[in-house]
């Protein structure tokens, strides 16, 4: 019993670490939709800062900890918000995942580089290095005494053996405080309310005066403080090492998964539980498990990952709906679209020639001839290019993020190694002398990886993108801990030798690699590409490996191209763009994802076989799980849409250090430059930052080259096309309202040659209106919706906006409320120009929009919904008096209210505290007649209280009774506006049926 309690209590303490980490992860995910893979990296950066202050500069514990957690971490949070979030806010989900992975790669290296390379090496400041810690086992002090004190806090309970040290107690106390503060901030403060509102319905938040940018800043500050606090606390328990920190955070994934990425309290408790479970498993597995299972290595350490997988499967499955793998934004246009085929291929032909020429020493110029080492690095780069082709399939084509590619590489390599080392008996051609043909061995490797990929795809294909990424990651760890570590599978630290001689240690001299041993057949080719070579193609030589890898890369690329053009390739793309649409077209998205996963795994597996050729062997350490993250960052930096990106990424990955070494030694020749650029930290920074910056663009770096030129070309073509079309349609005369404003204008006040339409109300004196929309031109992307609309609304009047579906009414509302900035025209509120004012400010200054389909936050309670706009108890009391039913339901979550009650809730703030301008987009849509009446009553009341009301409706009859002024819209133009009495049924009919309206 004593032992059991001891395990539970100390498990809770360890679990507190998971709790802190998991809460931070859920918090960011909840407030920004970003799963922050870089949480551990942030923790490391803060802990490293603390280490430099405390150990390096001798700052005492308390001020150092305060500086690190309360000053440094929040500042970093702000910076990250600015650098990362702004960039990724509108990005597809896969790009958000990749962005934080980029941060995970870049941040620790940046911190280390700034201190150790810039500070210590270049500037000569004496700073302690992390490598100095190696001689003491990586141990660095935390905020407690060093070495730690031991306490027996439960001695009075008769548990003398239960002991905790000061570091553990610090963790537990800090976790408890953090939990309390977090709960208070999120549940009890204005900032917390706003954060939750943004999460609940971000489109509405701005309309309710919430500054989303600030909300997200606060969330990131909280997250970084949590991470930083965690970092400082765990340093003495683990080591000051960024990988270790990331592993600790990953250890907490199960707690994140159990919360469904959703609930901070559940994640917190889940973290504690995880600590206990881990301890109990470690403490009792020998007694419980049968001994043959106990003999399997890595079982206990893979518990958190196995738990993560299971929980993701059961918890994350339903909630994630299709969120994941849908590309929820259109991918940016391919800048090469429209170029002739030869022009698209030319650069790659040149690149290939350059690689061959350099590697095979075609030119007799010393600096243009690769030495052996450079050749082998290029060959290795091409192998990585082949491996990165798997990202082109899974991410570029499939829009999914797989973090298990390293696992596929290894399994492919293992299977190939097994096939190579097996005695197949003497089968002519296929297996001469018992040695299976290498090509077939590599195909076995690819097949094996494909089967593994398919097995993984089976359970995870229905998960969303985040869950998929986490699931594949957890899987990569399980694979590396259990099967790959098993001697018969992984062959220990040296792995499977890619040699033809069986039973000889890997260090043996004889290695057999594939060679094209046919002088007569291919000799002519060999003499052309590699005149200096031996009698045959011998792929144990780096220069010939370059040729082999180029050929393999080209063939796989060819395969991919033909796949993309095939029916199944189009089905994959369709499933990616919209699962729902794909399903209705008879395509099974699950099947498409399955195929994508298997194919990408097969390519990675084939890459594993090629890796073996260049490396001489494949072992579990050839591609550890964490390297999969770096690979992804590199692949994304260079672009995942096209094979060309993979090629450059592969070369970049293996040769960047080489290039900087060459630059430093032969070109710049400066020691400082050498120290800074050849530091091990430097290239990861580049790749990490590259991934953050380019995550959004599927063409990565490649896009920077061609995009601007393509943009200019596109604009030119568009302008020509419009001119031609309009000239044809109107015989050269363009009516003002049909002018398409193709180019957004830099300054809206600029005088143009187009004649403005006669405004319904004279322009002079319009500033007296509460709301005045003047010459509004607006749209979404390339599509212009409003072509110059003028509407004025005076205080105490209702302007009803009528028109058919698609007339542009909701767009007009969005412009009026500040959700959409017009490309031309002005928005005045009480005579003030607010055109450039963002939505939440306009809401605070008295413009209230109740959007289509209810202006409520369904996840917040009634009280909290009101609290967002009505800050005083007084105001809320008025709202409850006006709608007593809301008072009865004040603790209920708004999503559970009936439609009518929900609409009351969305109108209540306006009635309690009438805005200057009230805009309602179809407020009676979908309501029962009785509820609709209540709404109409409320709107009348608002008019009486002096609001200027813009009402958008499709149901004209009710509105005609309510409105003072009626306006008709048609295809983005205001076709008639006037007093209600003059709006007869003929006009009404015309407004809906289109055409035939005479403009007065």
Partner 1 sequence: MKRQKLVAVAAVAALVGTFGLASVGTAGAKVASQSSVRGVTSTSIKVAGICDTTGVGAAAGAKARFDAENAKGGTLGRKWDFQSECNNDSDDANQDLTIGKRLVQQDGVFGVVPVQTPTLASAPFFAQQKVPFAGWGISTGFCKNPYAAAFTGCIVPPTNIKTTGTTWGALVDGLFKKQGSSAKGKTAAVITEDDDSGKVGAVVVGAQAKVNGMKLVYAKAALPPPTQTVGDYTPYVQALMTSASGKAPDVIFVTTAFANVLGLSGALLQAGYKGILTNAVAYDPALIKAATGQSVFTQFDLPEDTSNANMVQIVKDMNNGGVPTNKIGQPALAGYFAADMFIAVTKKAGKNLTPDSWAKALSKFTYQIKGVVGPTKYPQSQTQGAPCGTLVTSNGTAYEISVPYACYKNINYTTLKPIKY
DSSP 333: P
CB contact at 8 A, 453 and 600:
yes
Contact predicate 936/958, CB 8 Å? yes
Instruction: Return the closest-CA partner of residue 113 out of 678, 514, 836.
Output: 678
Tell me the C-alpha distance between 297 and 281, whole Å.
14
In angstroms, give the least distance from the CB of 274 to partner 1. 10
Tell me if 975 sits within 8 A of 991, measured CB to CB: yes
Q: Quick one: which H or E segment has residue 828?
A: strand 824-829
Q: Which is nearer to partner 1, 516 or 838 (CB)?
A: 516
237 versus 264: smaller Cβ distance to partner 1:
237
Q: Minimal CA–CA distance to 812: which of 855, 779, 781?
A: 779
Q: How far is the CB of 844 from partner 1 (least distance, A)?
A: 47
CB nearer to partner 1: pick between 81 and 116: 116
| Residue 803 DSSP SS3 | strand
Rounded CA separation 1000/995 (Å): 14
Output 492 or 926, the one with its CB closest to partner 1. Answer: 492
Q: Which residue number, 680 or 722, has a Cβ lying nearer to partner 1?
A: 680
| Cα separation, 38 vs 100, whole angstroms | 6
Between 377 and 774, CB nearer to partner 1: 377
**Least distance in angstroms from the C-beta of 158 to partner 1:** 17
Q: How far is the CB of 576 from partner 1 (least distance, A)?
A: 19
- Nearest CA to 547 among 791, 409, 659, 383? 383
CB 15 within 8 A of CB 276: yes
Query: Angle CA(859)–CA(864)–CA(865) in degrees, nearest 5?
Result: 70
Least distance to partner 1, CB of residue 287, Å: 10
**Cβ closest to partner 1, residue 136 vs residue 753:** 136
Strands 917-921 and 847-850: parallel
- Please choose, from the candidates 522, 587, 579, 574, the residue with its C-alpha nearest in 3D space to the C-alpha of residue 551: 522
Cα-based distances in Å from 30 to 219, 610, 839, 871: 9, 42, 22, 24
- Residue whose CB is less far from partner 1, 490 or 822: 490
Q: In angstroms, give the least distance from the CB of 317 to partner 1.
A: 27
Closest to partner 1 by CB, 609 or 801: 609
Nearer to partner 1, 294 or 958 (CB): 294
Tell me how far, at minimum, the Cβ of 300 lies from partner 1, in Å.
6
User: Are 815 and 791 spatial neighbours (Cβ–Cβ below 8 Å)?
Assistant: no
In a 3-state reduction of DSSP, which class is residue 496? strand
Pick between residue 509 and residue 753 the one whose CB is nearest to partner 1. Answer: 509
Give 310: exposed, middle or buried? Use CB within 10 Å, 0-12, 13-18, 19+. Answer: middle
For the CB of residue 623, give the shortest distance to partner 1 in the complex, in Å: 8
Q: Please state whether the peptide bond connecting residue 147 to the residue before it is cis, i.e. omega within 30 degrees of 0.
A: yes
CB closer to partner 1 out of 549 and 773:
549
Is 168 or 810 the residue whose CB approaches partner 1 more closely?
168
Alpha carbon distance 37, 99 (integer Å): 9
Residue nearer to partner 1 on the CB measure, 52 or 279: 279
CA–CA distance, 445 with 901 (Å, rounded to integer)? 62
CB of 376 to partner 1, least distance (A): 5
Shortest distance, position 736 Cβ to partner 1, whole Å: 50
CA distances to 203, 543, 937 from 375, rounded to whole Å, are: 54, 6, 81
Rg of the chain (C-alpha set) = 33
| End-to-end Cα separation, the chain, in angstroms | 91
Closest separation between CB of residue 527 and partner 1, Å?
A: 17
User: Tokens at residue 263, please?
Assistant: 């609930």
Residue 282 vs 718, nearer CB to partner 1? 282
Give min distance, CB of 261 to partner 1, in A: 23
Phi–psi pair at 340, nearest 5 degrees? -65, 155
β-pairing, 150-151 with 164-165? Answer: antiparallel
Distance of alpha carbon 42 from alpha carbon 228, whole angstroms: 7
* Closest to 609 in 3D by CA, of 436, 423, 415, 776: 415
Min separation Cβ 430 and partner 1, Å: 10
Q: In this structure, are residues 681 and 113 in contact, taking their beta carbons and an 8 Å threshold?
A: yes
Instruction: Name which of 153 and 744 has its Cβ closer to partner 1.
Output: 153
Helix (H) or strand (E) holding 180, with range, is helix 166-188
Nearest distance, CB of residue 315 and partner 1, angstroms: 24
Least distance to partner 1, CB of residue 435, Å: 5
CA torsion angle for 503, 509, 515, 517 (degrees, to 10)? -100
Specify the residue, 32 or 377, whose C-beta has the smaller distance to partner 1.
377
Least distance to partner 1, CB of residue 286, Å: 7
- In angstroms, give the least distance from the CB of 538 to partner 1: 4
Cβ atoms 865, 892 nearer than 8 A: no
* Residue appearing with tokens 């150790």: 116
């Amino acid at each position: 019993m004593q032992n059991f309690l001891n395990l539970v209590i100390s498990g809770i303490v360890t679990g507190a670490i998971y709790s802190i980490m998991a809460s931070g992860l859920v918090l960011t995910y909840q407030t920004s939709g970003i799963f922050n893979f870089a949480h551990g990296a942030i923790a490391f950066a803060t802990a490293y800062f603390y280490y430099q202050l405390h150990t390096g500069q001798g700052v005492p514990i308390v001020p150092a900890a305060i500086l690190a957690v309360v000053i440094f971490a929040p500042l970093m949070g702000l910076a990250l918000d600015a650098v990362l979030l702004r960039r990724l806010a509108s990005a597809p989900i896969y790009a958000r995942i990749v962005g934080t992975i980029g941060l995970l790669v870049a941040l620790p290296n940046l911190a280390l580089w700034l201190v150790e390379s810039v500070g210590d090496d270049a500037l000569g400041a004496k700073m302690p290095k992390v490598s100095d810690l190696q001689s003491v086992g990586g141990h660095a002090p935390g905020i407690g005494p060093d070495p730690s004190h031991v306490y027996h806090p439960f001695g009075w309970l008769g548990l003398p053996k239960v002991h905790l040290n000061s570091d553990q107690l610090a963790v537990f106390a800090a976790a408890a405080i953090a939990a309390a503060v977090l709960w208070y901030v999120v549940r009890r403060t204005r900032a917390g309310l706003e954060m939750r509102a943004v999460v609940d319905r971000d489109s509405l938040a701005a309309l309710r005066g919430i500054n989303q940018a600030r909300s997200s800043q606060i969330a990131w500050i909280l997250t970084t403080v949590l991470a930083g606090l965690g970092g400082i606390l765990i340093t003495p328990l683990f080591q000051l090492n960024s990988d270790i920190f990331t592993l600790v955070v990953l250890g907490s994934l199960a707690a994140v998964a159990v919360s469904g990425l959703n609930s901070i309290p559940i994640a917190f408790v889940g973290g504690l539980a995880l600590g206990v479970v881990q301890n109990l498993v470690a403490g009792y597995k020998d007694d419980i498990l049968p001994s043959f299972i106990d003999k399997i290595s890595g079982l206990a350490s893979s518990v958190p990952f196995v738990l993560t997988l299971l929980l993701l499967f059961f918890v994350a499955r339903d909630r994630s709906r299709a969120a994941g793998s849908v590309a929820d934004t259109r991918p940016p246009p391919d800048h090469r679209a429209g170029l002739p085929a030869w022009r698209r291929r030319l650069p790659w032909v040149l690149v290939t020639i350059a690689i061959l020429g350099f590697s095979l020493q075609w030119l007799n110029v010393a600096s243009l001839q690769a030495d052996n080492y450079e050749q082998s690095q290029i060959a290795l780069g091409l192998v990585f290019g082949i491996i990165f082709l798997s990202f082109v399939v899974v991410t570029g084509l499939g829009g999914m993020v797989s973090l298990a590619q390293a696992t596929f590489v290894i399994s492919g390599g293992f299977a190939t190694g097994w096939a190579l080392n097996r005695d197949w008996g003497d089968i002519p051609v296929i297996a001469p002398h018992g040695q299976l043909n290498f090509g077939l061995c590599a195909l076995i490797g690819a097949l094996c990886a494909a089967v593994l990929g398919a097995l993984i795809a089976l359970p995870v294909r229905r998960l969303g993108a985040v869950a998929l990424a986490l699931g594949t990651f957890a899987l990569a760890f399980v694979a590396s801990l259990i099967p790959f570590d098993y001697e018969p599978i992984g062959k220990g630290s040296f792995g499977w030798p890619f040699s033809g001689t069986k039973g000889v240690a890997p260090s043996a001299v004889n290695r057999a690699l594939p060679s094209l041993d046919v002088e007569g057949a291919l000799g002519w080719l060999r003499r052309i590409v590699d005149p200096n070579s031996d009698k045959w193609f011998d792929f144990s030589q780096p220069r010939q490996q370059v040729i082999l890898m180029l050929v393999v890369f080209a063939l796989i690329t060819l395969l991919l191209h033909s796949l993309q053009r095939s029916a199944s390739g189009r089905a994959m793309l369709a499933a990616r763009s919209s699962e729902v649409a794909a399903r209705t077209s008879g395509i099974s998205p699950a099947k498409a994802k399955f195929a994508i996963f298997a194919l990408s795994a097969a390519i990675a597996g084939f890459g594993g076989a090629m890796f073996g050729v260049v490396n001489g062997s494949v072992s579990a350490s050839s591609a550890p799980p964490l390297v999969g993250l770096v690979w992804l960052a590199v692949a994304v930096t260079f672009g995942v849409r096209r094979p060309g990106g993979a090629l450059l990424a592969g070369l970049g990955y293996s040769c960047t250090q080489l290039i900087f070494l060459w630059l430093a030694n032969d070109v710049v020749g400066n020691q400082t430059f050498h120290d800074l650029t050849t530091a091990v930290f430097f290239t990861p920074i580049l790749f990490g930052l590259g991934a953050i910056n380019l995550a959004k663009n599927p063409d990565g770096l490649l896009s920077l080259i061609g995009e601007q030129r393509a943009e200019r070309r596109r604009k030119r073509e568009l302008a020509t096309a419009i001119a031609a079309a309009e000239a044809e349609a109107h015989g050269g005369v363009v009516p003002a309202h049909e002018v398409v404003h193709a180019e957004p204008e830099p300054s809206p006040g600029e005088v143009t040659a187009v004649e403005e339409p006669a405004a319904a109300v004279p322009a002079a004196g319009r500033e007296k209106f509460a709301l005045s929309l003047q010459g509004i031109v607006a749209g979404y992307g390339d599509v212009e919706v409003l072509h110059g609309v003028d509407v004025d609304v005076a205080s105490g009047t209702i302007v009803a906006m009528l028109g058919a579906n698609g007339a542009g009414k909701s767009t007009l509302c969005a412009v009026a409320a500040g959700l959409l900035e017009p490309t031309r025209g002005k928005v005045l509120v009480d005579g003030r120009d607010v055109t450039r004012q963002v939505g939440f400010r306009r809401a605070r200054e008295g413009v209230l929009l109740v959007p289509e389909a209810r202006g409520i936050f369904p996840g917040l309670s009634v009280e909290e919904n009101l609290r967002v706009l009505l800050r005083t108890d007084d105001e809320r009391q008025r709202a409850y008096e006006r709608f007593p039913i809301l008072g009865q339901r004040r603790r209920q979550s708004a999503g559970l209210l009936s439609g009518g009650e929900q609409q009351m809730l969305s109108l209540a703030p306006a009635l309690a505290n009438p805005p200057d301008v009230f805009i309602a987009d179809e407020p009676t849509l979908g309501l029962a007649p009785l509820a609709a009446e209540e709404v109409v009553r409320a709107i009348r009341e608002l008019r009486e209280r002096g609001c200027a009301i813009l009402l958008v409706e499709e149901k004209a009859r009710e509105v005609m009774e309510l409105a003072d002024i009626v306006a008709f819209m048609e295809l983005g133009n205001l076709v008639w506006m006037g007093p209600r009495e003059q709006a007869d049924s003929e006009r009404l009919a015309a407004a809906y049926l289109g055409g035939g309206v005479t403009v007065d």
